[in-house]
């Protein structure tokens, strides 16, 4: 039997996390909201088995729960990736002020921007790096506060960082924490790496347009007041490789730039539903990523709803699940709820 076939058979024999009820049973359902708020962990019953290596640097994972890496979903495209004593945040937006984005009339562009520490502090207290995928209102507004609170290095384009400066009244004191990237950077940290990938944003509507387009590269703009002031500013994706060799790729929009993904081969891909205007969005993306072992949906909740309650699907997750199953049947689709964690 070939190694590739043996790996496929081994994966099929693992516990099927997609069929587990996160809140199974009447007694558990009664306490669902409290469990999610406390940060339920999604793990299998089987004992953890450590990862080993095969085919050069190819990592063969043991049972789910064996990697020593924890992914916690903070809603929308917000993720906390932790391992050893390190914490990496991706697009941490926890204030979740109401915009009407998924209402029939869509987002109100005059919605004021709010960042509320009282909604942030209970959930995030540490970070070494903060990775910004793009500048929109559902990704960026809490980054200035979290950068100050944690001392983290912030990676983003010139526009992203200028918007962060514009949101912070005393931005000059943040400058040493801001690192301008544009895609192509492969950064070595203490035992782990972050690859910055050129990417592209979702395109919506019959005319396939990017919402709130634009850049602010030349100088710090006036303080953004409404969500329309937070422009896309270029879109990035990221791959994190942990000390144990686990590779995690994140896409903050339902689109991608295929040439940037050559050779990445992530074990875990965080991908977004949608992409109706993108040709063969899911099949092409999963093929470019060499069919990752795990696919976790991101950016699938209606973020007008509270983070402290179970996520409300804006309508794209079942189509994404079906597309993943068809395009990459050996990939395991694992849906994590608000503030839950998953350990590959």
pLDDT per position as a tens digit, 238-253: 999 999 999 999 999 9
The whole model's pTM is what?
Answer: 0.84
Residue 207 is predicted with a pLDDT of: 85
**Residue 176 pLDDT greater than 70, yes or no:** yes
- Nearest C-alpha neighbor of 55 from the set 132, 2, 129: 2
Structure confidence by residue, pLDDT tens digits, 131-149: 999 999 999 999 999 999 9
Residue 64 is predicted with a pLDDT of: 65
Strand partners, 236: 198
Spell out the CATH class of 76-342: alpha beta
- DSSP code, position 269: E
Question: Using CA atoms, how far apart are residues 99 and 267, in angstroms rounded to an integer?
Answer: 34
Structure confidence by residue, pLDDT tens digits, 16-31: 333 222 322 222 223 3
Q: How far apart are the first and last CA of the chain?
A: 26
**Residue 35 pLDDT greater than 60, yes or no:** no
Residue 10 is predicted with a pLDDT of: 40
Structure confidence by residue, pLDDT tens digits, 56-94: 344 455 566 778 999 999 999 999 999 999 999 999 999
- Nearest C-alpha neighbor of 223 from the set 163, 175, 143: 163
Contacts of 90 (CB under 8 A, 6+ apart): 77, 78, 79, 80, 81, 130, 131, 133, 238, 250, 252, 270
Residue 16 is predicted with a pLDDT of: 34
Asked whether 229 and 52 are in contact (CB, 8 A), the reply is no
For 187-216, what is the mean pLDDT?
92
CA dihedral (192, 198, 202, 206) in degrees, to 10, reads -170
Asked which of 23-27, 212-216, 232-236 is least confident by mean pLDDT, the reply is: 23-27
Alpha helices in the chain (DSSP H): 3-13, 26-30, 32-38, 117-120, 143-150, 158-167, 281-288, 317-327
Please report, rounded to a whole number, the percentage of residues in the chain having pLDDT higher than 70.
81
Residue 56 is predicted with a pLDDT of: 36
If one compares 331 and 43, the residue with the highest pLDDT of the two is 331
C-alpha angle 45/286/102, rounded to 5°? 85
**Residue 32 pLDDT greater than 70, yes or no:** no
If one compares 74 and 210, the residue with the highest pLDDT of the two is 74
Q: What is the DSSP string of 296-339?
A: EE-S-B-TTS-TTS---B-S-HHHHHHHHHHH-TTSEE----TT
Residue 61 is predicted with a pLDDT of: 57
Helix, strand, coil in percent for the chain, rounding step 5: 25, 20, 55
Going 12 to 242 to 295 to 276, the CA torsion angle's sign is negative
CA 150 to chain centre: 19
Question: Using CA atoms, how far apart are residues 227 and 240, in angstroms rounded to an integer?
Answer: 29
Residue 106 is predicted with a pLDDT of: 93
- Nearest C-alpha neighbor of 234 from the set 258, 220, 217, 218: 217
Q: Look over the chain and give the mean of its residue pLDDT values, rounded to a whole number.
A: 85
Please report, rounded to a whole number, the percentage of residues in the chain having pLDDT higher than 90.
76
For 198-217, what is the mean pLDDT?
89
| Cα dist from 105 to 53, 99, 102, 225, whole Å | 51, 11, 8, 21
């Amino acid at each position: 039997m070939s190694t590739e076939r043996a790996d496929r058979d081994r994966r099929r024999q693992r516990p099927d996390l997609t069929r587990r009820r996160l809140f199974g049973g009447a007694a558990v359902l009664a306490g669902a909201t409290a469990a999610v708020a406390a940060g339920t962990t999604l793990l299998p019953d089987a004992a953890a088995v450590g990862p080993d290596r095969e085919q050069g640097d190819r990592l063969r994972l043991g049972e789910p729960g064996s990697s020593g890496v924890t992914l916690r979903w903070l809603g929308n495209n917000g993720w906390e990736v932790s391992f050893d004593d390190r914490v990496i945040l991706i697009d941490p937006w926890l204030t979740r002020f109401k915009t009407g984005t998924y209402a029939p009339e869509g987002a109100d562009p005059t919605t004021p921007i709010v960042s509320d520490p009282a909604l942030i502090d209970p959930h995030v207290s540490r970070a070494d790096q903060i990775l910004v995928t793009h500048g929109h209102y559902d990704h960026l507004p809490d980054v200035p506060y979290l950068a100050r609170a944690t001392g983290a290095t912030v990676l983003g384009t010139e526009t992203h960082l200028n918007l962060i400066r514009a949101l912070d009244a005393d931005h000059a004191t943040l400058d040493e924490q801001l690192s301008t990237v544009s895609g192509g950077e492969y950064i070595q940290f203490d035992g782990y790496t972050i690859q910055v990938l050129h990417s592209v944003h979702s395109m919506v509507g019959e005319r396939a347009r990017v919402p709130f387009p634009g850049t602010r590269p030349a100088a710090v703009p006036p303080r953004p007041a409404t969500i329309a002031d937070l422009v896309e500013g270029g879109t990035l994706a990221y791959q994190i490789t942990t000390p144990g060799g686990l590779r995690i790729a994140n896409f903050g929009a339902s689109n991608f730039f295929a040439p940037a993904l050559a050779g990445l081969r992530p074990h875990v891909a965080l991908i977004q539903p949608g992409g109706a205007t993108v040709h063969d969005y899911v099949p092409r993306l999963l093929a470019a990523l060499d069919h990752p072992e795990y696919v976790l949906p991101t950016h699938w909740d209606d973020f007008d709803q509270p983070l402290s309650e179970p996520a409300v699907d804006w309508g794209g997750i079942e189509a994404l699940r079906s597309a993943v199953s068809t395009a990459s049947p050996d990939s395991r689709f694992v849906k994590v709820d608000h503030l839950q964690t998953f350990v590959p």
